[in-house]
């Protein structure tokens, strides 16, 4: 966590993974409602 290169690399995968579940949960929730 102290290395800047690691944080930068993790920034990309973290954003993709975080956005995927959010859209998945939002899509079914809106349609179901």
pLDDT tens digits along 1-33: 455 555 555 555 555 555 555 555 555 555 555
Give residue 6's pLDDT.
56
Give residue 5's pLDDT.
54
Give residue 30's pLDDT.
58
Give residue 17's pLDDT.
54
Give residue 11's pLDDT.
56
Give residue 29's pLDDT.
55
DSSP code at position 30: H
Note the residue count of the chain: 33
| Residues 1, 4: Cα–Cα separation, whole Å | 8
Q: What are the helix (H) ranges across the chain?
A: 4-32
Give residue 31's pLDDT.
57
């Amino acid at each position: 966590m102290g290395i800047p290169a690691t944080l930068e690399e993790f920034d990309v995968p973290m954003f993709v993974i975080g956005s995927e579940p959010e859209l998945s949960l939002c899509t079914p929730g809106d349609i179901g409602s």
